[in-house]
Structure 1
Amino acid sequence: MTERSFTIGIDTEWSSARADWNSALASGAATPFQHGVVMDAWYRAMAARADIRPLIVTIRDRMTGAHALSLALVGTTSGGTRTIGFADLGLIDYNAPILGPAAPRDAASAASLWKALVKALPQADVIDLRKMPVTIAGRPNPLALLDTLPCALNGNLVRTGDDWNAYHHNLKRTVRKELERSWRVFTRHPNALFRDVTEPDERRRVLSAIEEQQPLRMLATGKSYVLDAPSAAAFYRNLVDVPAQEGTVAMTALMAGDTVVAALLGLRNADDYIMVRISNAEGEWANASPGKLIIDRSMAHLHAQGYRAFDFSVGDYDYKRRFGVEPTPLVDLVAPLGWRGLWATAESRARNFVRRRPTVRQFARRILRR
Structure 2
Amino acid sequence: MSLPLESEMPTKAAAPVGRPLSAAPASQPVRYAARLHTTFDTIAPLWHEFETEGATAYQRLDWVRSVIDHLGPTMRASPLLVEVTEAPGGRAVMLLPLALVRERGYRVVTWLDLGVCDYAAPLLAPGLDVGPDAMVSVWRAVRSVLPRADLIRISRIPDSVQARPNPLATLSQCRRMEMQASGVAIEGDPATLLDRLCRPGPRKDMAKLRRRLDRQGEVAFVKASTPSEVDTIFDALVEQRRTRFSEIGRFDLLSRPDVEAFYRAGARAGLTGGPARLFGLSVGGTWIAAAYGLVHAGTFHGLLLTMAGGPWRNTSPGLHVAAECLRWARAEELDYFDFTVGVMPYKEDFGVQTRDLEELVEVASLRGRLVTMALSAAAGAKTWLATHPAWYGRLQKARRWVRRHAG
Q: Do they fold alike, i.e. is TM over 0.5?
A: yes
1:251 aligned partner: 278
Q: C-alpha distance in 2, partners of 1:66/1:291?
A: 47
Of 89, 114, 118, the residue aligned with 1:93 is 118
Looking at structure 2, the residues matched to 270 and 247 of structure 1 have their Cα atoms a distance apart, in angstroms, of 13
Tell me the CA shift for residue 296 of structure 1.
0.5
8 A contact 1:280–1:290 mirrored in 2:
yes
Q: Compare 340-349 and 131-140 and name the one that shifted more.
A: 340-349
For 1:342, the aligned partner's letter is R
Deviation at 1:101, TM superposition (A): 4.2
Partner of 1:57: 82
Q: Report the alpha carbon displacement of residue 189 of structure 1 after superposing the two structures with TM.
A: 3.7
Alpha-carbon spacing, 1:353–1:104, altered in 2? closer, same or farther (3 Å): farther
| 2:141 counterpart residue number | 116
Q: Counterpart of 2:288 in 1: which secondary structure?
A: strand
Alignment partner, residue 133 of structure 1:
158
SS at match of 2:361: strand
* In the alignment, structure 1 residue 143 sits paired with structure 2 residue 143: no
Mean Cα deviation higher: 241-250 or 348-357:
348-357
Paired residues of 1:69 and 1:103 also in contact (CA < 8 A): no
Structure 1 residues 347, 361: closer, same or farther in 2, change over 3 A? farther
Partner of 1:33: 58
Alpha-carbon distance in structure 2 between the residues aligned to 1:48 and 1:351: 27
Q: Letter of the 1:72 partner, please give it.
A: P
Residue 174 in 1 paired to residue 215 in 2? Answer: no
Partner of 2:48: 22
Q: For 1:67 and 1:257, how far apart are their aligned partners in 2?
A: 55
Query: Which has the larger displacement, 180-189 or 292-301?
Result: 180-189
Q: Displacement of 1:80 after TM fit?
A: 2.1
The CA distance in 2 between the partners of 1:297 and 1:284, in whole Å, is: 21
Unaligned runs of 5+ residues in structure 1 are 366-370
CA contact (8 A) 2:339 2:347 kept: yes
Out of 176, 179, 182, the position equivalent to 1:156 is 182
> CA-to-partner distance for each residue in 1:125-173, whole Å, 9 max, x for gaps?
1111110111112222111111210022111111133255365245233
- Spell out, residue by residue over 1:94-142, the C-alpha distance to the aligned partner (whole angstroms, 9 max, x if none): 1211112486532221010111111110111111111011111222211
**Do the aligned residues in 2 keep the contact of 1:55 with 1:73 (CA within 8 Å)?**
yes
From the superposition, tell whether residues 46 and 224 of structure 1 become closer, same or farther in structure 2 (CA, over 3 Å): closer
* Residue deviations 1:221-243 (CA, integer Å, cap 9, x gap): 23222221122112201211114
- Alignment pair present for 1:261 and 2:288: yes
Question: Counterparts of 2:128 and 2:362 in 1: how far apart (Å)?
Answer: 21
**How far does the alpha carbon of each residue in 1:305-328 deviate from its partner, in whole angstroms, 9 at most, with x for none?**
212211111012111112221111
Where does residue 206 of structure 1 map in the other structure? 233
Partner of 2:11: none
Where in structure 2 are the equivalents of 1:1-370 lying within 5 Å? 1-14=27-40, 17-26=43-52, 28-49=53-74, 51-63=76-88, 65-101=90-126, 105-147=130-172, 148-164=174-190, 165=192, 167-169=194-196, 171-246=198-273, 248-345=275-372
Q: 1:45: how far off?
A: 0.6
Give the Cα–Cα distance (whole angstroms) in 1 for the partners of residues 42 and 214 of structure 2: 49
- Residue-by-residue CA offset, 1:215-261 (whole Å, 9 max, x unaligned): 11112223222221122112201211114351621122112354221
Q: Distance in 1 between matches of 2:75 and 2:318?
A: 37
Distance 1:57 1:102, change over 3 A: farther
SS at match of 2:73: coil
Give distance in 2, aligned partners of 1:361 and 1:55.
41
Which whole-Å deviations, capped at 9, do the CAs of 1:174-226 have from their partners, x for residues lacking one? Answer: 31122212322333344421112211221122111111110111122232222
Q: Is the 8 A contact 1:187 1:193 kept in 2?
A: no
| Distance in structure 2 (CA, Å) of the matches to 1:133 and 1:309 | 16
Cα RMSD, aligned residues only: 2.9
Q: Percent identity?
A: 26
Residues 35-87 of structure 1: per-residue CA shift (max 9 Å, x gap):
22221221111243372122122212224632222122111122422100012
- Pick closer, same or farther for the CA change 1:353–1:134 going to 2, 3 Å: farther
CA distance in 1, matches of 2:364, 2:287: 48
CA contact (8 A) 2:129 2:164 kept: no
CA distance in 2, matches of 1:232, 1:301: 26
Unaligned runs of 5+ in 2: 1-26, 393-407
Equivalence for 2:12? none
The 3 A distance-change label for structure 1 pair 329 and 50 is: closer
Are the structure 2 counterparts of residues 349 and 310 from structure 1 closer, same or farther at C-alpha, using a change threshold of 3 Å?
A: same
- Cα gap change, 1:4 to 1:80, in 2 (>3 Å): farther
**Whole-angstrom distance in 2 between the partners of 1:240 and 1:306:** 21
Structure 2 match to 1:368: none
